[in-house]
Amino acid sequence: MNKDSYEAMLAEVQAFHDKHDFKNTGGEEMTYRVALMAEELGEISSCVSKGKSKEQLAEEVADLFILLIGTAIAQDFDLKQSFWDKMEKIMKRESKMVNGRIRVSEFRD
């Protein structure tokens, strides 16, 4: 299996879940997982606001990515397909400038 493939990443995160028996020890409970994701977002924010290195930022983003893959495992959905489905939707969206920054959304009047 190609180490750079999504399938390899999914298998590695699954092995991590299995190693620590997340399914039976609360590690796959969604309220807990959301709290962990919020914690990681805080660490990412800290990297940006405190001018930490690109390497530190990359590590925190990787933590969040691992949590996202783990959430797909915990909730039994295909994150890869969800990614492509969402990309198809957002590629059709218009953008507009909001407070001096580009925003792509489903704008409602």
Which pLDDT score, from 0 to 100, does residue 3 have? 86
pTM: predicted TM-score of the whole model, two decimal places? 0.89
Domain ranges, ordered by start, for the chain: 6-77
Under 8 Å between Cβ of 46 and 52: yes
For residue 41 the two structure tokens come to: 């977002």
How many CB atoms neighbour CB 1 within 10 A?
Answer: 8
Query: In this structure, what are the phi and psi dihedrals at residue 96, rounded to the nearest 5 degrees?
Result: -150, 160
The whole-angstrom separation of Cα 67 and Cα 45 is: 17
Confidence of residue 106 (pLDDT cuts 50, 70, 90): confident
Under 8 Å between Cβ of 83 and 42: no
> Which pLDDT tens digit goes with each residue over 46-69?
999 999 999 999 999 999 999 999
The CATH label, of 3.30.420, 3.40.190, 1.10.10, 1.10.287, for the domain at 6-77 is 1.10.287
